[in-house]
Structures are given as C-alpha cells and as structure tokens.
Structure 1
Amino acid sequence: METDMVRNEQQTAASGKEYIEILGDTVVPVRILSAIVISICLSIGGYFLGKSIFPKIAEAKMVGSYSLLLGIAGSVIGLILCARLFKPSRILTEDDTSKEGLEEILTSMQTDPQAEYELIKDDPVTKKEMEELGIWESFKNSGGRKQP
C-alpha cells in the first residue's frame, strides 16, 4: 500500500512538474517533506525507545549514550528507507561538446571566452580536470584565439 502511495505521488509530481530548489538540487516538495518527517520520526523514536528500554537492562549512567546510539541507528534506517522510497527521477544525458556548443555555453553565461581562457590556462588543477574530461582543446580553441 505504501509503494502504491509513492507511485501515485510520483505520477502526480511528474505530471504537475512542481519542483523546488534546495541546496542546488531540484526536488519534489512532497518527497523532501516526507523524507524529513520519516527521518525525524525514526531518529527521535529510536532515542525515546532507548530511554524506555535501556533503564531495565543497562547501567543508569549509560542509558543516555545507548539511547543516543539507538537514535543514530534510527537515522540510518531512515536514510536507507528514504533512499529506497524516493529514487532519483533525473535523466542525465551527455552530449559531445563542440567548439560552437562551448561558445554558446560561455555566451549564455555572459562570460568572455578569452578572459576565461586566460584565467584557466595558468591553473594546473582546472586545466588537468578539463583535459581529463576531454574539453580542454575545445575550450582552448574557443578562448585561446584573440577576439576581434
């Protein structure tokens, strides 16, 4: 029944296209709210469950520590549960970057290709990353030439 609820929520979210941005990620508000509620309930529930169980089986000075560990275990269970319930719904596609595409991206970002090239050519870390991604040559051809 719970999986049916999640499927219905996913279909509603996919058709409604209602998203919010949190920490640079785009999410469905119902999903994030559900994940927060699940995590809070399991972690606090674990803590209070420990507060009621551990006085019967542990020393009095260790009850707080054991309860805290049970609350942390509840948080981990909540993490696993939310990861299973709310799968990412993104579709990532990769396109080959051409010289024209790179220039279009830099133009849409309102940056000067020449200025960006001048900044990056002396930065060995960024240059190496771009070489590993296979975009350094395109970037160099786009920004390395003098602009009229």
Structure 2
Amino acid sequence: MKTEMVMKETKADTSKQEYIEILGDTVVPSRILLSVIISIIASIGGYFLGKSIFPQIAEAKMVSSYSLLLGIGGSVVALIICSRLFKPSRILMEEETTSEGLEEILRDLQADPSSEYELIKNDPVTKKEMEELGILDTFKRNGER
C-alpha cells in the first residue's frame, strides 16, 4: 500500500493565547495591532520626513512625489521590522499517512472524493502534479468507490 506525505500544522507556542482570523490566517491580536502601528508610524513618518527634507533639495513640483516614495520606503522598512519581530508561531511537521488518512482529511474538509477525482481527471495540469506527487492513485481509488 502506497503512503503519502502530509504536512501537519501544530502551534509552537503552547501557552493559551487568543487568536483571530484575518485574511485566512490565524494571528495574535496584539501582534497584528503592533504591526499596524509600526507600519503607520514608518510610512507616515517617512512621508512627513520627505515633506520637510525635499523642499531644500528638490524642485517644488517633485516634493510630493519624492515624499510619497519615502513613505513607501518607510512601509518596506516596517515590513522588515515586523517580519523580524514576529516570527511565525507554527511548526509544520511531516508525517506519513495511508489512503485511510487521506479519506479522513477529505471528510474533515467536507469534500466528496468522487467529485474531487473528476476535477483532477479533467484538469491535465493538476493531474500531472498529482501523478508527480504519487497521490493520484489514492484519489482515483477513493473517487471510484
């Protein structure tokens, strides 16, 4: 019997923290709030810094454009700062699973194996990827039941 590799997601931090879902990702509210504050300060700070510096070194009609670019640069700096401060709090672990495990995953996702197999069968790109991963046969067995 052929086995497949499935990525299982677990939380690295076992302490009881409250999480919220934003754009399909689960985050800690305090971290997202701090990230937003850092981003606002860096981008608006960069814009107003440009408004005070660029009138002395650039043409008057270009001051707003240069200031906006400096504000965008501040957003990029904020992105780097936030990515350094807030590391992902999840660990992905690989574990082997059998076709029964795949059936359980499909049940958890409330997906019908036969309709999933039909979608895979009718899409040559997806079918090729599933063959390369070695899991097409499992979908085929589950889909033909």
Normalised TM-score (structure 2): 0.83
1:76-115 aligned at under 5 Å gives the runs: 76-115=76-115
- Secondary structure of the structure 2 residue equivalent to 1:94: strand
- In structure 1, what residue type is equivalent to 2:85? L
Separation of aligned partners in 1, 2:45 and 2:34: 16
Instruction: Judging by fraction of residues, say which structure has more strand.
Output: 2
- Number of residue pairs matched? 133
Task: Name the counterpart of 1:129.
Answer: 129
Higher relative contact order (CA closer than 8 Å, sequence separation 6+): 2
2:81 and 2:14 map into 1 onto residues whose CA distance is 21
Q: Share of identical aligned residues, percent?
A: 72
Q: Give the gaps of 5 or more residues in structure 2.
A: 1-12
Which residue identity is paired with 1:72? I
Task: Output one character per residue of 1:68-117: Cα deviation in whole Å (capped at 9) or x when no partner.
Answer: 11111111110100010011111111222311011112223333322322
What does residue range 29-48 of structure 1 map to in structure 2 within 5 Å? 29-48=29-48
Q: Would the aligned equivalents of 1:97 and 1:135 in 2 still touch at CA under 8 Å?
A: no
Runs of 4+ in 1 over 6 A off after TM superposition: none
Match of 1:3 in 2: none
Q: What are the ranges of 5 or more consecutive residues in structure 1 without an aligned counterpart?
A: 1-12
Query: SS at 1:21's partner residue?
Result: strand
2:96, 2:138 → 1: CA distance? Answer: 11
Q: RMSD of aligned C-alpha atoms?
A: 1.6
